[in-house]
Amino acid sequence: GQQLNQSPQSMFIQEGEDVSMNCTSSSIFNTWLWYKQDPGEGPVLLIALYKAGELTSNGRLTAQFGITRKDSFLNISASIPSDVGIYFCAGQLSGSARQLTFGSGTQLTVLP
């Protein structure tokens, strides 16, 4: 089945710094998604991307759907303490095989 390689696995940054993480796949996806999971909670959808090359923002978060359709990037600008959590990418094919394939997550820690 499809696999997503998400990196980095973890990040420690200072408050106010910008953050970048990415996911790559050997398969082409038609939709890319980015979720955040707070401690003790389920993942919450942050951004959904539907077209190759698409760049979408949600507040301080910006995500891009790679031109090759095999990768996606998430950037967080001016990090704050509540950005702490695990960020997951997910890809989805179209057609009958519409399960989401998830990355293994990036654990983000923001230091004051």
Partner 1 sequence: ETGVTQTPRHLVMGMTNKKSLKCEQHLGHNAMYWYKQSAKKPLELMFVYNFKEQTENNSVPSRFSPECPNSSHLFLHLHTLQPEDSALYLCASSAYFGQETQYFGPGTRLLVL
Q: Is 88 in the site for partner 1 (CB under 8 A)?
A: yes
Q: Which of 7, 9, 20, 58 binds partner 1 (CB under 8 A)?
A: 9
The number of beta carbons lying within 10 Å of the beta carbon of residue 59 is 8
Q: Is 99 in the site for partner 1 (CB under 8 A)?
A: yes
Q: Token pair of 24, please?
A: 């790559």
Whether a cis peptide bond, with omega within 30° of 0, leads into 39 is no
Q: Of the ranges 11-19, 55-63, 67-75, 84-92, which one interacts with partner 1 (CB under 8 A)?
A: 84-92
The answer to whether 95 and 46 are in contact (CB under 8 A) is no
Site map for partner 1, 38-57, x if CB under 8 A? --xxxxxx--x---------
